[in-house]
Structure 1
Amino acid sequence: MIMRRLDRGWWRAVGLGAVLALAGAGLLGGVFILSGLYNVAASRQHFDITNMLIRLTLTRSVATRSMGVDVPDLSDERLAALGARHFDLGCAPCHASPGTEQNPIAAEMYPAPPPLTHAAEDWDAAELFWIVKHGLKFTGMPSWPALEREDEIWALVAFLERLPESGAQDYAALAGRRSGTGEVEFTFGGQNATETLCANCHGDENNPPVHHLAPGIAGQKAPYLLRALEEYASGERESGMMEPIAAALAPEEIEQLARHYAEERVLPSAAGVDMEAAARGAEIARNGARADDIPACLSCHGANTSGQFPRLDGLSAEYISTQLSLFRSGVRKGSVYSEIMMPIAERLSEQQIRDLAAYFASRAGGTGGEASAGPEARQ
């Protein structure tokens, strides 16, 4: 009985001592924080133990939270090329690129943005995706501007997977630069710098887009191009690639771009369109699908309709399918015009989306929204 009481007394003493120790540690910690003694200057590095703990926490957090990420096929070189073009504009200013030195201002950040030439060796594809999408706290690494545009994030991951094997010349080719006599330089610049910069991803009347995520805009209606750029600039339309570019454009530059591309000839879509699917899509585009309450697409997207509705003729089937899926999932929901498309896209089946995409991809030609005959003219 006496021993039991002694045991209880001992445990009470231990508990009280632990509480007092914690309270004391909290008090000392509070005094230390409020005193300002800790040096938060970027010019003063952490202790080695602090760096070790931060690094361990970071790697374990990324590894845990990237579990379950499904990695798609990243073998498409065009997808990597699109990622390289975004890297060149959005990432290289801080992280540098093969053949270039890091910006001295970025180099003085703490922690400094690391070179990404070995990122794919330090992180697997799922981890790279998570980092690019969500960013990293206390590092200056931002999250992707449009979190729901995972299709764009994978383009950057596809490029980062190839970066360890890329020298300056390989990088120049993938990023859309040209290489002269041993010297690497940008392809964009000069009098028409902005148009050339756009063409690096979107192509022009002589060159196709680098990838279907960047649609061909040659021959697109000027009012639609103007509205699209303004929506990207304001964040109404989500795109981690387009929002920062559009936000940097002055209103007069946006107007100039819209006029410039509207006057260009539409480049025919790539060969290989499923003409049977295109024929089924033609019926929906011209007459709608009454059983599914789907209106005729050409009632809004025809050549002579409002300039606020985009021309779809000649756009790649992949791009059209992607955009209809974005409308259906609610990702493209920010503008007034998206309110028109979202309920229609929700009623479309996967087969109908493929058929419509094939139909519009089979049509091309003209400028400023003129269209050549599609499969219905060949029937």
Structure 2
Amino acid sequence: MVRLLFPKRLTQWFGPLILAGIAALLVAVTVIVSGIVDLSAAKPHPDGWARLLHYTFSRSTAFHAGPTPPADLDSPIRVAAGASYYGQVCARCHGGPGFGQNPVVLSMHPRPQYLKTDLPTAGYSAPELFRIVKAGVKYSAMPSWPADRRDDEIWHLVAFLRAMPKMSPQSFQQLALVSHGQGAGVAPFGAPPKLTPYALRNDDEPPAASFNYRTPVFGFSGYAQDGDALATCSRCHGADGAGGGAFPNLTLQTRDYIASTLAAYAAGRRRSGFMQMVASELSPTQISALADHYVTLPRRSTETHVGPVSAEGQQIAIKGLSSAGLASCASCHGITRAADRAYPILEGQSRWYLANQLRVFRNGGRGSIVGDKHPDPMVKIAKRLTDKQIDAVAAYYAAQPPAAVQSLVPEKTVR
């Protein structure tokens, strides 16, 4: 009997192993087909099983940890940028300082962690937090980041997660929850518009017939249906639209550029985990109303003091770099009305924002959507600039007074 169970020759093991495998497969198929497995969220995982799942998750996170964090990871500008997203999305499951967690999300299994306490975040390094935010977690309702290759946005949220455990309720409310300028105006949703397709990572995932990748969508807060879109925009761009820090100054742009950019975000043609979530909720009527609103606001520079501007920054902006084969920035930005939709006005924009966007172009996070017949030339341009040159040209444009839109050459004179 012992020899039958434990044969001496290796080849004699093949038969029993194959039979055992077939038997295990039959048992698994029987269990699945019978429906005996209880997948109800009303019953929690047994303690041992929950611990095993979390340990597996922790080891997977450590193995696939993200890249080296940026040098300014914990800067106030990144913390504030991450706060705006956390308050709009993440807080609805994970709570925050001065707030508990929603009873609906605590009825999920596994339950989302309460991230105010030190325990959930202190045990993970910044690269591990990056991995969790970017990749999400299967079977846990933790989503992956909506926009691929926008690592800069993910680092914003990581910065906030690292800062939040020591944050007071007052600071949390001011950074993440308060809609500055709420009630400043409304943008009615209007009549139900025709639904239009949008692109998202893995939007061909089976079963395709079970999903609806079309805008407008019903969002987390329903702000679009409530008509209070301006309050949501004010979270990041401010009630005056001047943005600041990590977010662009909308008062500097033309109406056509704002409208076309919102439409591009909604459709996924321009990547952003921050903006696609917001823009995809808007109706065409609201996109038009928001563009009208921001062009009526007073135009002013984002920063009151930029500091000294280098000759190199002015050279790149006005004359270009012959050594790198680059034309001047001014050859595209803000010259003709024909360019209003394609090229933003840079004068008076935030220095940090401009420099960050150039680095996003350089890293492939913008301007290279799969399937584009006409790739954005900014990708090649940014790859030819050093960090020093990027900072220099960003400082130059941040120091310039806002360009007067009415001074642009009328489209009919352009040939």
TM range (shorter): 0.7 to 0.9
Per mean C-alpha deviation after superposition, the further-off stretch among 50-59 and 240-249 is 50-59
Shift in alpha-carbon separation, 1:264–1:67, aligned structure 2, 3 A: closer
Provide the residue aligned with 2:183 in structure 1.
190
User: 2:127 & 2:351 partners in 1: Cα distance?
Assistant: 27
User: 1:23 & 1:112 partners in 2: Cα distance?
Assistant: 36
Secondary structure of 1:136's partner?
coil
CA deviation string 1:12-31 (max 9, x = no partner): 55554444333322322222
Gap runs ≥5 in structure 1: 1-6, 178-185, 372-379
Q: Shift in Å at residue 158 of structure 1?
A: 1.2
Provide the residue aligned with 1:125 in structure 2.
126
CA deviation string 1:327-349 (max 9, x = no partner): 23332123777524333334444
Provide the residue aligned with 1:182 in structure 2.
none
Provide the residue aligned with 2:84 in structure 1.
85
Residue 149 (structure 1) aligned with residue 144 (structure 2): no
Q: Give the structure with the larger helix fraction.
A: 1
- Match 1:332 to one of 366, 369, 393: 366
User: 1:340 & 1:321 partners in 2: Cα distance?
Assistant: 17
Superposition misfits of 4+ residues, deviation over 6 angstroms: none
| 8 Å Cα contact 1:82-1:210 kept in structure 2 | no
Provide the residue aligned with 1:240 in structure 2.
273
Provide the residue aligned with 1:46 in structure 2.
45
Structure of larger gyration radius: 1
Provide the residue aligned with 1:281 in structure 2.
313
Secondary structure of 1:27's partner?
helix
- Match 2:286 to one of 250, 253, 270: 253
Quick one: which amino acid aligns to residue 138 of structure 1? Y
| 8 Å Cα contact 2:180-2:238 kept in structure 1 | no
Provide the residue aligned with 2:207 in structure 1.
none
Q: Shift in Å at residue 363 of structure 1?
A: 0.6
Secondary structure of 1:114's partner?
coil
User: 1:296 & 1:366 partners in 2: Cα distance?
Assistant: 17
Shift in alpha-carbon separation, 1:134–1:8, aligned structure 2, 3 A: closer
Q: Shift in Å at residue 38 of structure 1?
A: 0.8
Residue 361 (structure 1) aligned with residue 398 (structure 2): yes
Gap runs ≥5 in structure 2: 1-5, 186-227, 409-415
Secondary structure of 1:218's partner?
helix
Alpha carbon RMSD of aligned pairs, Å?
A: 2.8
With the length of structure 1 as denominator, give the TM-score of the two structures: 0.83
Q: Shift in Å at residue 232 of structure 1?
A: 0.7
User: 1:358 & 1:40 partners in 2: Cα distance?
Assistant: 56
| 8 Å Cα contact 1:303-1:369 kept in structure 2 | no
Quick one: which amino acid aligns to residue 233 of structure 1? A
User: 2:67 & 2:287 partners in 1: Cα distance?
Assistant: 41
Quick one: which amino acid aligns to residue 235 of structure 1? G
Provide the residue aligned with 1:112 in structure 2.
111
CA deviation string 1:50-91 (max 9, x = no partner): 222211211111122117644643331222122111101011
User: 1:338 & 1:327 partners in 2: Cα distance?
Assistant: 11
Per mean C-alpha deviation after superposition, the further-off stretch among 282-291 and 88-97 is 282-291
Provide the residue aligned with 1:137 in structure 2.
138
Provide the residue aligned with 1:310 in structure 2.
344
User: 1:162 & 1:48 partners in 2: Cα distance?
Assistant: 30
| 8 Å Cα contact 1:94-1:113 kept in structure 2 | yes
Quick one: which amino acid aligns to residue 182 of structure 2? G
| Total equivalences in the alignment | 354
User: 1:210 & 1:151 partners in 2: Cα distance?
Assistant: 16
User: 1:191 & 1:68 partners in 2: Cα distance?
Assistant: 41
User: 1:370 & 1:198 partners in 2: Cα distance?
Assistant: 28
Shift in alpha-carbon separation, 1:32–1:301, aligned structure 2, 3 A: same
Shift in alpha-carbon separation, 1:281–1:90, aligned structure 2, 3 A: same
Quick one: which amino acid aligns to residue 33 of structure 2? L
| 8 Å Cα contact 2:248-2:353 kept in structure 1 | yes
